[in-house]
Amino acid sequence: MIFNEYMRAVERFIRKTMALTAATPDEIAAILEELCVLLRIGKVEMLAYTNEASEHLGLYTPYCYYDCGQVCDTFCVSRRMTTNDDSIVVYKIYPIADAEEWSENELEKIQIFIALFSTLNGKLRLIKLTNRLTYFDSDFDMYNLKQFMKNVRMLCKEERVDSFAAVRFNLKRFSVVNQQLGRENGTCVMKQFIACIDNILTDSAEVLCRIGGDNFIVLIYQDKLDALLKILSGTPIVYDETRDERINISATVGVYVIPDMDSFVLSSDIMDRVSMAFSLAKNSCTQDVVYFDDQLLAISKKNNDISACFPKALEEREFLVYYQPKVAVDGLKLAGAEALCRWLHNGRLVPPGDFIPVLEQGRDICKLDFYMLDAVCRDIRRWLDSGRKAVRISVNLSRRHLSDMDLLKHILDIVDRHNIPHEYIEIELTETTTDVEFTDLKRTISGLQKHGISTSVDDFGIGYSSLNLIKEIPWDVLKLDKSLLPTENEDDPHQKALIFKYIVAMAQEMGLECIAEGVETSAQVELLCENNCNLAQGFFFDKPLPIEEFEKRLDEDYVYSK
């Protein structure tokens, strides 16, 4: 053997292994083969034992790194090593068949080779562990979002990402599943459901990743999209095999079908666009699946403009309070009002449907809510100071506030800063959110009640947990959604009137004040009178009014007509 050739081969081996992240498996195999040929090695294998007990029992996992096909297996150079995690590896180096015995010089070099190879193996194990920590979700033993982005970048680089679709989804009402089945069974159900999706991903470029909680994202070939959406639309999962009991699991889904490479998109764009579609699906009452398209792109630009304008608009007090009167049906007098937000921007009123959903996607909605409460308190203080009649005003708060442990303090600070008697303030929280944190909600409502501030559950009747909400939480007021009121065009208005009657009776039995919102006809007013629901709000009486017009109603002690 020529010594210089050996030294150059060793140098190349060290250089490749030290820069392992840049070396391909084929490059490592080629330099390994070069050394094996120079040292007349026929086979390189490693036996991996979990611990000493498994070594004594002969339980190992074999790895063959090189085999020339002509091996003398009656003799080998063996070396046993213990790793940092107390596992044991045994390296075995076999000579080529029918070759001369290794010289002392060659045996020394083979020992050096084993030392080099063990370093390579250790680095491979470290890289594998690092990759696992970086790209895997340890709770579910599946890929995480970083792996999704890694695959997307790879496909963009290879210019074949346009064969794929990105699908982001959230398991619907899974907190309820956990409550019903227990968290352990709920986790098993989730894993089974995910396995159904994993079974249709057959290419290494396709990937299913967990974002966190019950949120996931998939990169899948476009021709498999229908199969995936069929699973996500609803799949029965067995959670008790002994009794063959099943539960149907479905998802809220955002889809981005990645366009051809001529419409080039960045890897970050793919995540942004599928997330945009998902967000729209999550906030929709009618669509479980939303596809990203050009219209969504325009909406995204509009939303970004709103978010960018918001801080300055808040600072310059562009947001106005409009008051929609609440009317006592018995006597038809003004009995209160709901404070509603309007945005006067660049000389025109921006509809709340254009900006409220955008602000609700982050914490900006909380800033706006506190701004509105402060503005209402300013108005009430002015009414009281001028001797004008004052009525109780309800102010809406987003459920996003509930993560704030100091929410009660923040509300009281604003009200008390203006020296407002607490009976003039009512806090409304919407009932439509499904993932209610009952502990946070109950703590806040109880605290407000203790300080004499009324609370109302808004939109009662359209959420999945309506009865549970009024059973568990000490509300003062129940705002009945307009969908509970019969209309002239309905097939069976009598049935809806009957439901309305019993809801009002139940609420009153529980000591709750009832107000019907969305009242638009005299027949609906008559229904309220018949069932002793004494408060009404809606266009039949008044639309939301600017402050000047509402104050005229207060000054005139206004009486409405039927």
Q: In this prediction, what percent of the chain has a pLDDT beyond 70?
A: 89
Alpha-carbon distance 9 to 109, whole Å?
12
Q: Residues 545-548: contacts with CB within 8 Å, 24+ apart?
A: 545/322, 545/323, 545/324, 545/325, 546/320, 546/322, 547/320, 547/321, 547/322, 547/323, 547/379
The predicted pLDDT at position 285 comes to 67
More confident call, 248 vs 16: 248
36 φ/ψ angles, rounded to the nearest 5 degrees: -65, -40
More confident call, 274 vs 301: 274
**Burial environment of residue 471 by CB neighbours within 10 A (0 to 12, 13 to 18, 19 or more):** exposed
Q: Are residues 96 and 170 in the same domain?
A: no
- Residue 380 counted as domain residue: yes
Q: Which of 136, 169, 188 is the last residue of a domain?
A: 136
CATH number, domain with residue 54? 3.30.450
- Residue 308 counted as domain residue: no
Per-residue pLDDT tens digits for 225-261: 999 999 999 999 887 777 777 888 999 999 999 987 6
Q: Are residues 216 and 75 in the same domain?
A: no
The predicted pLDDT at position 457 comes to 84
Structure tokens at 209: 């990743």
More confident call, 95 vs 470: 95
Stretch 547-553: mean pLDDT, rounded? 94
- Residue 279 counted as domain residue: yes
The predicted pLDDT at position 560 comes to 84
Candidate from 76-85, 292-301, 431-440 with smallest mean pLDDT: 431-440
Q: Where do the H-state alpha helices sit in 263-340?
A: 267-282, 294-315
Q: Are residues 218 and 77 in the same domain?
A: no
Q: Are residues 352 and 279 in the same domain?
A: no
Q: Are residues 103 and 144 in the same domain?
A: no
Q: Are residues 528 and 502 in the same domain?
A: yes
The predicted pLDDT at position 370 comes to 97
- Asked if the model's pLDDT at residue 170 lies above 70, the reply is yes
- Asked if the model's pLDDT at residue 275 lies above 60, the reply is yes
Q: Are residues 128 and 202 in the same domain?
A: no
More confident call, 119 vs 308: 308
CATH number, domain with residue 233? 3.30.70.270
Q: Are residues 532 and 449 in the same domain?
A: yes
Stretch 170-177: mean pLDDT, rounded? 84
15-29, 90-104, 409-423, 503-517, range with greatest mean pLDDT: 409-423
Q: Are residues 118 and 189 in the same domain?
A: no
Which region holds residue 518: left if phi is over 0, alpha if psi is between -120 and 50, else beta? left
Nearest 5 degrees, angle CA 161-CA 165-CA 170? 140
155-164, 279-288, 308-317, 359-368, range with greatest mean pLDDT: 308-317
The predicted pLDDT at position 432 comes to 43
Are the C-beta atoms of residues 259 and 159 closer than 8 Å to each other? Answer: no
Instruction: Give the range of the structural domain holding residue 468, as residue numbers without chain letter.
Output: 318-556
Per-residue pLDDT tens digits for 303-349: 888 999 999 999 999 999 999 999 999 889 999 999 999 999 999 99
Q: Helix/strand/coil (H, E, C) string of 146-205?
A: HHHHHHHHHHHHCCCHHHEEEEEEEECCHHHHHHHHCHHHHHHHHHHHHHHHHCCCCCCC
Q: Are residues 102 and 210 in the same domain?
A: no
Q: Are residues 333 and 462 in the same domain?
A: yes
Structure tokens at 212: 């966190």
Stretch 425-430: mean pLDDT, rounded? 88
Structure tokens at 31: 């330099």
Q: In this prediction, what percent of the chain has a pLDDT beyond 90?
A: 41
Q: Which of 136, 158, 178 is the last residue of a domain?
A: 136
Alpha-carbon distance 324 to 341, whole Å?
11
Per-residue pLDDT tens digits for 363-391: 899 999 999 999 999 999 999 999 988 99
- Residue 313 counted as domain residue: no
- Residue 562 counted as domain residue: no
- Residue 304 counted as domain residue: no
CATH number, domain with residue 505? 3.20.20.450
- Residue 306 counted as domain residue: no
The predicted pLDDT at position 240 comes to 74
The predicted pLDDT at position 372 comes to 97
Q: How many domains does the chain have?
A: 3
Residue 139 is which amino acid?
A: D
The predicted pLDDT at position 434 comes to 43
Q: Are residues 78 and 18 in the same domain?
A: yes
What's the chain's average pLDDT?
Answer: 86
- Asked if the model's pLDDT at residue 401 lies above 50, the reply is yes
- Asked if the model's pLDDT at residue 22 lies above 70, the reply is no
Are the C-beta atoms of residues 162 and 258 closer than 8 Å to each other? Answer: yes
The predicted pLDDT at position 464 comes to 46
- Residue 298 counted as domain residue: no
The predicted pLDDT at position 486 comes to 85
The predicted pLDDT at position 433 comes to 45
